[in-house]
Amino acid sequence: MTELWRLGLGQAAQGLAKRQFTATDLVSASLERIRLSEPRLGACLAVLGQEALDRARDLDREGHDPSRPLWGLPVSVKDVFCLKGAPTTAGSRILEDYRPSFEATVVRRLRAAGAVIVAKTNCDEFAMGSSTEFSAFGPTRNPWDPGRVPGGSSGGAAASVAGFQVPAGLGTDTGGSIRQPAALCGCLGLKPTYGRVSRYGIVAYGSSFDQAGPLARRVDDLGLVLAAIAGPDGLDSTASGRPVGDYANVAEARPGELTLGLPDELWAADFDPLVLGVLERARRELAGAGVRFKAVPMPNLRFSVATYYILAAAEASTNLARYDGVRYGHRSGGDPGLLALYRDSRTEGLGQEVRRRIMLGTFVLSSGYYEAYFRKAAQVRRLIQEDYRKALEGCDFLLAPVSSIPAWPFGSFTDDPLTAYQLDMMTLPLNLVGAPGLSMPAGLGGGLPVGLQLMGRAFDEAGLLSAAKALERILPPLGDPPGL
Ligand code: GLN
């Protein structure tokens, strides 16, 4: 019964079904692993130890239930998901003492499927960032090199999965926050189609972009979690009523049947040589296995960064107006008066990057600038959607890098936000389009994980997973992060 923490979701589920170990064994192993690795990783903002153990014991007492696909399996959730009565900070001081009185739909569904939530994971404040360095509660470290960032904003989720604390975690992806940290930490991450998964009970950032999705170490495990959380929800009118696919049981595609489009604009980026080396080797290996490639022009992708940062900031500025010191979290005890209460509560409670986005968003929505910035960006978003549709006409999926550089040393870009925004160029197009995509490990460059991204058609998560299974067989697994 050694090394239960090593098992993926599917393997652990089998062991539970065969009574090789109990839910309590599995959850205890995860909690012990968290205890041992947290000093190094800092992936968790809250560990729900007692609650998780109580729940695992309840499950064991009730007996194994084959109708619940995640029965007894430990998972982590990013700290933007509301858990009734548990801290939910979104990485922000302004929500430090907030305890929701309700549960996010995805959390309710995970539990209904039998999962045990063991931890809430660290993230950039309000999910704004790409390194988890903007968390108000300290950094998360990359499992492969503790001197480097895990990516973000779901950096805690990625480190918890790649660091073997849990077999799977839930993150959110507004502009890459599931796919990019997964790539930088060496695990997999799936961003579903906008509307595939309910956003009810998720701390909002950019409401026309936000989607929740799984991080895991195997393609099959992404499917298991997606199957549990996807589907319509009366509490979120943007959650689609389309039938949910059989994500937990997809057949593996045959490499010889796959034609992958390579977006010119993304493959022409200025890559770190170590990253480029891994990407080229991966492409050779895929081609050797029979995968066909086709270069696809997507000229408007060069506007993705500007477009996204205008629209996402605009949406953030309206979503974050609710943190006014009156109803939620931190309230300033300073100057009297309503305006001072708003001003001081927000100044004390919100970090610099979040304030920057609010200012930017307020500016692009303000009278006289709305047409020049917000409306223009909304129009360019349509052009990017059109590019995406055309690119997929002659191929099955798009294949792209995730990041032009590997995980970077802490502090590399904290004084240079524009360069940091620019680094998101590979992940933003998918969010602007609303289509599904996933990132998976392509190999190690200089001892650091490098990821590849597969993008598909709206609501074809099943097809995406099936192609990813073929790629997973061809691309070599990364092995264990050293020293963990
Ligand atoms: N890095 C991007 C941003 O800061 C994306 C973040 C996300 O997907 N939540 O907005």
Among 128, 131, 184, say which to mutate for ligand 1: greatest number of ligand atoms within 8 Å of CB. 128
128 CA distance to ligand 1 middle (Å): 5
Let me know if residue 92 belongs to a domain: yes
Q: How far is the CA of 213 from the centre of ligand 1 (A)?
A: 14
427 lines ligand 1 (CB under 6 A): no
Overall number of domains in the chain: 1
Using DSSP, state whether 239 is helix, strand or coil: coil
380-390 mean pLDDT: 98
Of 213, 155, 219, 200, whose CA–CA distance to 182 is shortest? Answer: 155
Q: What is the pLDDT at residue 279?
A: 98
**Under 8 Å between Cβ of 185 and 449:** yes
CA–chain centroid gap for 225, Å, is: 13
Residues 6+ apart with CB under 8 A from 48: 86, 117, 118, 119, 120
Which one of 131, 135, 153, 345 is the catalytic residue?
A: 153
168 strand-pairing partners? 75, 216
**Residue 13 clears pLDDT 90, i.e. is over it:** yes
In this predicted structure, what is the pLDDT of residue 477?
Answer: 85
Q: Averaged over 35-51, what is the pLDDT?
A: 98
Q: From the CB of 153, is ligand 1 less than 6 Å away?
A: yes
* pLDDT over 70 at 109, yes or no: yes
Nearest to 130 by CA among 85, 170, 65, 179: 179
Average pLDDT over residues 185-210: 98
- Residue 43: pLDDT above 90? yes
pLDDT of residue 336: 85
Asked whether the predicted pLDDT for residue 2 surpasses 80, the reply is no
CATH code of the domain covering residue 39: 3.90.1300.10
Atom of ligand 1 nearest to the CA of 130: 1
Distance CA 388, CA 424 (A): 17
Answer whether residue 129 is part of any domain. yes
Cα(78)–Cα(193) distance, integer angstroms: 19
Domain-embedded: residue 240: yes
Check 78, 120, 191, 469 and give the catalytic one: 78
Q: Return the pLDDT at 334.
A: 82
Q: What is the mean pLDDT of residues 345-366?
A: 97
What is the 312 CA–ligand 1 centroid distance (Å)?
9
Per DSSP, the three-state class of 228 is helix
Which residue, among 291, 294, 287, 278, has the nearest Cα to 476 in the 3D structure?
278
- State the chain's mean pLDDT as an integer: 97
Q: From the CB of 175, is ligand 1 less than 6 Å away?
A: yes
**Inter-residue contact 124 to 205 (CB < 8 Å):** no
In a domain, residue 243? The reply is yes
**For the residues 276-292, what does the mean pLDDT come to?**
98
pTM for this prediction? 0.98
- Work out which ligand 1 atom sits closest to the CA atom of 353: 4
Nearest to 402 by CA among 184, 204, 213: 184
Interval between CA 140 and ligand 1 midpoint (Å): 16
User: Is-contact 252 469, C-beta < 8 A?
Assistant: yes
Is 431 touching ligand 1 by the criterion CB < 6 Å?
no
Please give the residue range of the domain that contains residue 102: 4-255+438-474
Q: Choose the catalytic residue: 28, 177, 345, 466.
A: 177
Q: Is 191 a catalytic residue?
A: no
In a domain, 15, yes or no: yes
Q: With cut-offs at 50, 70 and 90, classify the pLDDT of residue 484.
A: confident
Q: Whose CA is nearest to atom 10 of ligand 1?
A: 128
Is the CB–ligand 1 distance for residue 203 below 6 Å?
no
> How would residue 350 be classed by pLDDT, with cut points 50, 70 and 90?
very high
pLDDT exceeds 60 at position 1: no
Across residues 127-136, what is the average pLDDT?
A: 98
Is there a domain that residue 356 lies in?
no
Checking if the pLDDT of 327 tops 90, the result is: no
177 is catalytic: yes
Strands (E), 193-310: 211-216, 259-263, 292-296
Give domain status of residue 18, yes or no.
yes
As a whole number of angstroms, the distance between CA 16 and CA 12 comes to 6
Q: Cα(174) to centroid of ligand 1, in Å? A: 6
CA 206 to mean position of chain CA atoms: 14
Per-residue pLDDT at 328 exceeds 90: no
Which candidate, 85, 105, 203, 208, places its Cα nearest to that of 153?
Answer: 203
The reply to whether 265 falls in a domain is: no
Taking the centre of ligand 1 as the mean of its atom positions, its distance from the CA of residue 177, in whole angstroms, is 6
127 Cβ below 6 A of ligand 1 = yes
